[in-house]
Amino acid sequence: MEKPIYASLKSIGAYAPENIVTNYDLEKIVDTSDEWIVKRTGIKERRFAEANEATSDLATKAAKIALKRAKITPKEVDMVIVATISPDFFCMPSTACIVANKLGIVGKPAFDISAACSGFVYLLSLANAFILSKMYKNILIIGAEKISSILDMQDRNTCVLFGDGAGAALIGVTSEREKSIVDVQVSSNGEYQDFLITPGCGSRYPASQEVLEQRLQFLKMKGNETFKVAVKTLSSDVVEILEKNHLSIDDIDFFVPHQANQRIISAVGDALNIDSQKVVLTVQKYGNTSAASIPMAINEFYEEGRIKKGSKLLLDAFGGGLTWGSAILTFNGE
Ligand code: UT7
């Protein structure tokens, strides 16, 4: 009998730019304070990429680590997908094509997806489906952002919250169910499309002097409204995926939520009644890195030796769109 095929997370890698921007640095730019930022978000510092670094540069560095750890050569990669809302170029070429070229991956499909902070869970769902369909065996997925390139450094409501970085994973094949991605679910609700939005320079408001003067090219967020929907959606999404798979929170070794705000993470953790030792928290160090946040968080705990081969992970993401998603999987990296 033919062996069953499942998708498996075989490695993780991440890259954070060297330049650390502290809350005290931001105090010099906008009317804010370290005290406010820490109390309202938990963030102490974030990384901003250099002017000559683009999203593909961050993505490539993370991807190289993931490929090395998976012991996969560029030739063996069947597909590259990048999730980003801060691509190297507006419209085209895709950041994935640039990354594939930098890695020496030739003649394979490469494309970007846009699912904001839920990007990595959307990537997992795509990679899972491509592997289960037996179309591909090794898929490189990358969440990468130079969010600083779309931040309005005059807007204290947003500029203190975000940071740059990239996280990558190699999704491969396993015949063992207990080493695989158990389930991924993703969803959206466009009714709240204006909660997180970069209004300018798309086909709705094409680039013009007026658009630039109104600073519409930058990210805007209805923070408070987003906060409330985030807590509710993240909590219910996790309950749903656990129930669907006949699992309880006690079956999970690490809960890896999107790193937007420590208060959101605590509220969701409390709602789930999860042991705080199991909650992966990196927002204090990197801020909100959008699509890169979940893989960067997994990588942090992996490098600290806490997440290891066999760890059961529960991922939970939420972002612009609105989009959200969750996943249950076993970490199958060495
Ligand atoms: O990644 C995608 C999903 N994103 C999220 O889930 C983010 C969700 N939202 C949040 O994390 C929080 O809503 C924020 C951190 C953005 C804001 O926290 P908040 O507790 O909801 O504050 P608020 O927006 O209700 O603002 C409270 C006060 C306001 O002043 P007044 O009107 O009470 O006088 C703001 O003007 O805090 C003020 N404020 C600031 N003060 C100092 C807003 N930003 C700042 C700032 N520094 N940077």
Residue 2 has a pLDDT of: 82
pLDDT tens by residue, 120-141: 999 999 999 999 999 999 999 9
Catalytic residue, chosen from 128, 258, 299, 332, is: 258
Q: Which residues of the chain fall below pLDDT 70? A: none
In this structure, the residue with its CA closest to atom 27 of ligand 1 is: 224
Q: Does the beta carbon of 118 sit less than 6 angstroms from any atom of ligand 1?
A: no
Q: Does the beta carbon of 202 sit less than 6 angstroms from any atom of ligand 1?
A: no
> Per the CATH hierarchy, to which homologous superfamily does domain 1-334 belong?
Thiolase/Chalcone synthase (3.40.47.10)
What spacing in Å lies between the alpha carbon of 4 and ligand 1's midpoint?
48
User: Helix (H, G, I), strand (E, B), or coil: what is residue 149?
Assistant: helix
In the chain, domain spans:
1-334
What spacing in Å lies between the alpha carbon of 166 and ligand 1's midpoint?
25
Residue 3 has a pLDDT of: 86
CB 56 within 8 A of CB 144: yes
Residue 1 has a pLDDT of: 77
Q: What's the CA gap between 147 and 179, in Å, rounded?
A: 34
Residue 108 has a pLDDT of: 98
The share of the chain scoring above pLDDT 70, in percent, equals 100
What spacing in Å lies between the alpha carbon of 224 and ligand 1's midpoint?
6
In this structure, the residue with its CA closest to atom 35 of ligand 1 is: 157
Residue 267 has a pLDDT of: 95
pLDDT tens by residue, 132-185: 999 999 999 999 999 999 999 999 999 999 999 999 999 999 999 999 999 999
Average pLDDT for the chain: 97
Q: What's the CA gap between 128 and 124, in Å, rounded?
A: 6
299 is catalytic: no
Q: Does the beta carbon of 264 sit less than 6 angstroms from any atom of ligand 1?
A: yes
What spacing in Å lies between the alpha carbon of 160 and ligand 1's midpoint?
10
Residue 268 has a pLDDT of: 95
Write out the DSSP string of 249-311. Answer: GGG-SEEEE--S-HHHHHHHHHHHT--GGGB---HHHH-B-GGGHHHHHHHHHHHTTSS-TT-
Residue 156 has a pLDDT of: 97
